[in-house]
Amino acid sequence: MYEPMICIVLQGAKQVMIGDRVLDYGAGDQLIASIELPVTGCVVKASADKPYIVVSMTLNQDAVTTLLSDMPPRAEEQTLGFAVGAVPPRLLDGWARLLGLFETPEDVPVLAPMLEREILYHILQGPQGGLLRQAAMADSRLSQVRAAIGWIRTHFDKSLRVEALADIAGMSLASFHRHFKAATAMSPLQYQKSLRLHQARRLLIASADASRAAYSVGYESASQFSREYARMFGCPPARDAERMRGQGLLEVADAA
């Protein structure tokens, strides 16, 4: 699960799948996620000598909102929850100075907020600035979608009525479907399914059996769970769990 964040790749490359979108990003690229997203992915370029290296920063909504109050308003933009693009040189400079604070931790309380503000400002001024603006505006379509996402994340193991989610988001059913898909690259039901299957995978790695994992995340049919699990992860639950335990590959939720 990617939380709202900004990350840049310093070395190597990664491929992730978000809904029906496949994103490739490598050294010199940045990924911005302005909402919570269930993601499947893998590192596609790395070696022992040159490992995959990425740095990330949690998206500070309050800092973005404060910046927007000092900037001229813009017309509402398309509802997008994530994007990949090249990192402009001036952003790299800001990141370098922020990371340099590890060498002088006594400077962090004063300088880190200033450098964070600088990085956010440059992103707001660039081609991906719309993601941050939409996420920070309380009345934006993206914020309305985030309200529905919050409900799904809290109740992912319960039955889901899309009409109720549209009410939570304050949209008509047709508008909600359109904006949710634009933001997440998946439908509300697909989003819930992805949450369920990722949680079931964590339970399986921790030694739960497939049937128990299926019922724990809200499935009523173990056979349906096995089919959908294999479709997402490439093999049936028990075999996948055995493979993961054998290779020692535990998922790291905040890996960008």
- In the block, tokens 């995978």 appear at 201
**Rounded-to-10 torsion of CA 184, 189, 190, 193:** 120
The CA-CA-CA angle for residues 94, 6, 42, to 5°, reads 125
**What sign has the CA pseudo-torsion 85, 87, 90, 95?**
positive
Contacts of 218 (CB under 8 A, 6+ apart): 156, 157, 158, 159, 196
Taking every pair of C-alpha atoms in the chain, what is the biggest distance, in angstroms?
A: 56
φ, ψ at 217 (rounded to 5°): -100, 5
pLDDT tens-place values along the chain, 256 residues long? 889 999 999 999 999 999 889 999 999 999 999 999 999 889 999 999 999 999 999 998 888 888 988 877 776 566 788 999 999 888 999 999 999 999 999 999 999 999 999 999 999 988 888 888 888 887 788 889 999 999 999 999 999 999 999 999 999 999 999 999 999 999 999 999 999 999 999 898 887 688 889 999 999 998 999 999 999 888 889 888 888 776 654 444 444 5
* C-alpha–C-alpha distance, residues 206 and 121, integer Å: 42
Q: Do the beta carbons of residue 166 and residue 173 sit within 8 Å?
A: yes
**What domains are defined for the chain?**
5-136 (2.60.120), 190-247 (1.10.10)
**What sign has the CA pseudo-torsion 24, 27, 32, 33?**
positive
The CA-CA-CA angle for residues 31, 118, 43, to 5°, reads 20
Q: What is the DSSP string of 96-141?
A: HHHHGGGG-GGGHHHHHHHHHHHHHHHHHHSTTHHHHHHHH-TTSH
